[in-house]
Amino acid sequence: MTGTVKTGVPEQDPGLLLRLLGRQEIAFAAVGAGNTLLGMALTVMWLYLLPGSWPSAVSVALAYCLSLGVAFVAHRTLVFRVRGHVLRDFVRFVAVNSGGLVLNMAGLQLAVDVLGCPKIPATVVVMGLVAVGSFFGHRYYSFRRSPEAAS
C-alpha cells in the first residue's frame, strides 16, 4: 500500500526489517546499533592494518567513513524505504550525522566539563538525545519525500 501519512513522509512497502520489528523507530535503533558494532570492528581492524607510525585517530576516521556508507544504505533501504534522489539523500544524511557528531561533542562538553555531571550517565543521556534527534533529522530531512514524489 503506497500513500502519504500526515507528515508528508511517504508510506511504502515496509520491507522485511519493518515487518519484523513493527516500528520505524525500532528499526532505526536496530540499524544504528548494528552500525555502531560495525564501526567498532572496523576501527579495531584499521588499528591492526595501519602502520604503527600512523595516529590511532586515523583508524576511527577510516572506520567512520566506511560505516557511514553502510549506515546510509541500511537506513535508506531498511528503515525509511525511499527511492531516487540518492546524491541529495546522501548529502543530507552526512549533514544530519555531522550535526549529531557536533551535538554529541558539545553536549558532553557542557554536561561534564561545565555542569560537572558524571561522565558515563552524561554520555548515555547526551548520546540518547542526539540519537532521537537524528531519527527525526533523517526522517524529515535526509529521506523526506514530498507527497507528489510518493505518487
Determine the Cα–Cα distance for residues 43 and 62; give it in Å rounded to an integer: 7
Say which amino acid occupies 49: L
Query: Domain-by-domain residue ranges, the chain?
Result: 3-150
Query: Scanning the structure block, which residue is given the C-alpha cell 564501526?
Result: 39
* Helix ranges restricted to H, the chain: 15-21, 24-49, 56-74, 86-108, 119-137, 147-150
Give just the sign of the alpha carbon dihedral 1, 16, 26, 64: negative
| pLDDT digits (tens), the chain, 151 positions | 444 444 444 556 777 788 888 899 999 999 999 999 999 999 999 999 999 888 888 998 999 999 999 999 999 999 988 999 999 999 999 999 999 999 999 999 999 999 999 999 999 999 999 999 999 999 999 999 887 655 4
